[in-house]
Amino acid sequence: MTDVPKDVMETYSPSHLHSLLISNQYAFDLTDSGVERLLSIMDEYDHTILIGNQWDSFARDNLGSSGDTPNYYAIGAVDWDVSADREAWLLKDGYAVSQKWLDAGDGRVTKATRIDVTDTEYVDEKGVCWFPKEYMFICEATDEALEAVQ
């Protein structure tokens, strides 16, 4: 098993993740409470990898939408071995996080749904999705970051 590549950012706290999102040109900005909700769903689903983007069409096509708002964030486990020599990250056991829930915290809104791009040519399993390495934000949450929202 290949370790997480050195160029994948790590986050150590909700405030650190918030600063990473704000400073990254490919990440969709969240409020402080949205960042805490994002880390809490990662902890709930026992995932440490977060992938995000601002590309509306990619987000809508691969992660779906919350009403008319694209879902910009996914959580899951990256297959580092398969991704190593490719131009994309292979996310497995992936979930799209509802942007409306991240924005408002409304308990009536579904928090996350399993990614389903099985109708495409390259994927035949729910929860699996390829994310291009360019134009994406990828981050690993440390135990400290996840424990901060428990």
Convert the pLDDT of each residue in 89-143 to its tens digit.
Answer: 999 999 999 999 999 988 878 899 999 888 767 667 888 999 999 999 999 999 9
Tokens encoding 112: 């996350």
Convert the pLDDT of each residue in 31-68 to its tens digit.
Answer: 999 999 999 999 999 999 999 999 999 999 999 998 88
Convert the pLDDT of each residue in 71-80 to its tens digit.
Answer: 999 999 999 9
- Rounded to whole angstroms, the Cα distance separating 107 from 114 reads 18
Residue whose token pair is 């408002």: 104
**Domain span holding position 98:** 9-147
> Is residue 1, in this structure, part of any structural domain at all?
no
> Is residue 3, in this structure, part of any structural domain at all?
no
CB 6 within 8 A of CB 135: no
What local confidence, expressed as pLDDT, does residue 3 receive? 79
- Provide the angle, in degrees to the nearest 10, between the axes of the packed helices 32-44 and 14-23: 110
The count of domains in the chain is 1
What local confidence, expressed as pLDDT, does residue 5 receive? 86
CB 143 within 8 A of CB 59: no
Listed residue (19, 112, 15, 20) closest to 72, CA to CA: 112
- Rounded to whole angstroms, the Cα distance separating 141 from 150 reads 14
- Rounded to whole angstroms, the Cα distance separating 103 from 32 reads 10
> Is residue 4, in this structure, part of any structural domain at all?
no
> Is residue 52, in this structure, part of any structural domain at all?
yes
> What does the radius of gyration of the chain's CA atoms come to, in whole angstroms?
14
